[in-house]
Amino acid sequence: MKHSFLDQYSEGNSLIHRLDPRTKLITTLFFILVVVLTPVSRWQAFALYFILVATLIIISRVPPLYVLKRSLLIIPFVVLIAIFIPFFKEGEVAGSYNIWLWQVTVTHSGIQVFLNILAKSWLSILSLILLTAATRFSSLLRGMEQLRLPRVMVMILSFMYRYIFVLVDEVMRMKQARDSRNLGGGRLRQIRTVGNMIGTLFIRSYERGERVYAAMMARGFDGQTRTLENPGFDQRDFLFALALGLVLVLAIVLNLWYL
């Protein structure tokens, strides 16, 4: 079975696609850092960041709707974490409500902080989606390796990428096998079946791990990972990193200036 939910657009050939993965990794992290460190009240800065990401997305020719859809996934998580802030933050009261026994007050600064967290996480996730959509996962891994990320972590990520598809296939087959024999039954029984499936999947993955390890040993693996060195950056990378860096530094300076 074929899956493309992870690397649907990574085969493109735009400027963003052709950049060295290291450039992309570093600039993305820098971008996120700047976004997160921007003071709450500087909404103009956020507009600038948004324009920046949007421009890059357009340059990369990854469909904006695809990026938007995936970025919305983050909203529930953020809301879950930040939902109480408007109620607990002290400051000018925006509204006060009586809910049963409690009196609940919402403050202006609380709402501001909440929207701010939402905006920051959304901008960060947009840049990360752009990064992963416009880069082959294997190049990304190579980039991490060249940036001296611990080898074990890179290897774990690489196995994850390789086997997530195999696992999804396995789950799909198990579901089909279950559905073709599932003739109703109570809710409790269905939950029990799902539990069994998870257990089976775990055992199968464990056994697969053993076989993969044997296959690695059969080709001389001795616990040390080795890779080829790759060519360095080219001019394009320097220019891109420089341009993006300048814009972001400008944003920081402006922020400090108006503070």
Partner 1 sequence: MSEIIRVDNLSFGYPDGQPALSGVSLAVHRGETVALIGPNGAGKSTLLLHFNGILHNDGAVRVLGKAVNDKNLKWVRGKVGLVFQNPDDQLFSPTVFDDIAFGPLNMGYDEAQVREVVAKALEWVGMGGYERRSPHHLSLGEKKRIAIATVLAMNPEVLVIDEPTSNLDPGSKWSLIELLKGLEITKVIASHDLELVEALCPRAIILDGGKVVADGDTGRILADERLLAAHGLAHNKPAGGLGEV
Would you state the structure tokens that stand for residue 84, as one six-digit string?
């109480």
- State the nearest-atom distance from the C-beta of 176 to partner 1, in Å: 17
How far, in Å, CA of 170 to CA of 190, rounded? 19
104, β-bridge pairs: 97
- State the nearest-atom distance from the C-beta of 155 to partner 1, in Å: 10
Q: Specify the 3-state DSSP secondary structure of 96.
A: strand
With binding defined as CB under 8 A, does residue 220 bind partner 1? yes
With binding defined as CB under 8 A, does residue 231 bind partner 1? no
CB closer to partner 1, 36 vs 147: 147
Residue 246: CB atoms within 10 A of its CB come to 10
With binding defined as CB under 8 A, does residue 87 bind partner 1? no
Looking up tokens 């616990």 gives: 223
CB closer to partner 1, 42 vs 151: 151
With binding defined as CB under 8 A, does residue 228 bind partner 1? yes
Q: Which residue type is seen at 171?
A: V
With binding defined as CB under 8 A, does residue 229 bind partner 1? yes
With binding defined as CB under 8 A, does residue 221 bind partner 1? yes
Which of 218, 256, 257, 259 binds partner 1 (CB under 8 A)? It is: 218
CB closer to partner 1, 113 vs 145: 145
DSSP for 180-220 reads TT-----HHHHHHHHHHHHHHHHHHHHHHHHHHHHHHHHTT
Q: What is the per-residue binding string for partner 1 in 130-169, x denoting contact by CB under 8 A?
A: ------xxx--x----------------xx-xxx-xx---
Q: Which residue type is seen at 178?
A: R
